[in-house]
Structure 1
């Protein structure tokens, strides 16, 4: 009960940014002392901080695609290479806006004729010279921070295509909050792809385990496999096992 309440409180604070203690008491139907104890636990995780009369979410400003790409770049290359090995001739795949999923593209030249759908501008330019790729750039409004196309047109366009493998990135994964992302505008796109694709793969480097970002866009059970650069903590190995999600650790 307590764990569920703290998880729901965390989501509520992240969605509303700043919340008073009185509002939390009203929302969750518990005393101020209970709320304060819950707040102490959330503060210890680095997700929120105390302000006068309440709490506020610690939301980092989105970094650029290039800055994110430079973080853990070796791990991302290895994850991308491992993910590309799952692609077979005649597949129709989706590659999202993540810097980790982007690393798949150079390795797709060995896959035979495939259809690649993406809203990732960098992936479009990287895939353009690869002759075995039939490339579909989704429509939408350009988000320069993420180098991706997004919006209602992007989400709607996904509905008409038959995608059999989707490769998605995330900025956080926990047992309590599920699979999370720092860019709220990408929620609808990721959900539409997950629901449309036959198989879904989550590509995350090992630093993302145990982290929570602004928006939960999926449960771990929505994925068929998680591809990462090294064995995660045992609690996450068990979480994947319980949800019948394959764990793929990229080669060194």
Structure 2
């Protein structure tokens, strides 16, 4: 016997293919424990699959595991940045999403807005999971070895796949932004992917929250002159905005 909460959960899954416990808890105005218990019962009935933090439709058997702390950190800012980034996507664009958590949030925005047909190329299993079986999205998942905190493909195979692609726009993030050095990274595999994305894309947008500016760095991905625009949140320090102005770096504040 299904209660009304369970029926609601199944209706949401039918529409979205996946749900998060936190979202359902807010929509139903009940505790996350209650939602988890309902999801567990529905799984026992074979009506859905439980995954970390939520559930997917029955039959969607691939679960993507990720570092939830990385994804959830500054989530409100990342969501605003993703919504702004979506404004730069045109109907029938071919775009690239990298493996960053902000790109994952952009994938969710794309999924929720069927008004634009988009071809998406990505190495992010999280983004691919959001966009698979979405009618207004043609999805191309880059091959390669899977690794990293956010489950993405990387390595020589991924780079070779990327080199054969061409995109109107790319949306990437970075470990840091240094106005003297440019886009910075701490990992060579991720750095090589981003370098290749820059080569095969007409325009590249950098999606970074305000915590990414300044500080030290180990590796440099590219100078900021190769970026079409930076999109960040309103907590960016005034000194960084002044640096952007002096160096003629386009920046959107959300």
TM-score, reference length from structure 1:
0.70
Please tell me whether the aligned partners of residues 99 and 124 of structure 2 are also in contact (alpha carbons under 8 angstroms). yes
2:169 paired with 1:188: no
Matched with 1:206 is 210
Structure 1 residues 87-96 or 125-134, which shifts more? 125-134
CA drift at 1:182: 2.5
**Partner Cα separation in structure 1 for residue 84 and residue 201 of structure 2:** 19
Structure 1: state its 5+ residue gaps: 1-63
Matched with 1:172 is 176
Matched with 1:88 is 90
Question: SS in structure 2 opposite 1:97?
Answer: coil
TM-score, reference length from structure 2:
0.69
Structure 2: state its 5+ residue gaps: 1-65
CA drift at 1:107: 1.6
State which of 117, 123, 140 in structure 2 corresponds to 1:119: 123
2:76 paired with 1:74: yes
State which of 90, 97, 100 in structure 1 corresponds to 2:99: 97
| Matched ranges for 1:38-53 at <5 A | none
Please tell me whether the aligned partners of residues 179 and 244 of structure 2 are also in contact (alpha carbons under 8 angstroms). no
- Moved runs in structure 1, 4+ residues, more than 6 A? none
CA drift at 1:230: 1.1
Please tell me whether the aligned partners of residues 126 and 150 of structure 2 are also in contact (alpha carbons under 8 angstroms). no
**Partner Cα separation in structure 2 for residue 238 and residue 156 of structure 1:** 39
Q: CA RMSD in A?
A: 1.6
- Provide Cα deviations, 1:91-121, integer angstroms capped at 9, x if missing partner: 0000000001110012213442111000000
**Partner Cα separation in structure 2 for residue 65 and residue 118 of structure 1:** 18
- Provide Cα deviations, 1:193-222, integer angstroms capped at 9, x if missing partner: 112110010000011111334321111111
Aligned pair count? 187
Matched with 1:149 is 153
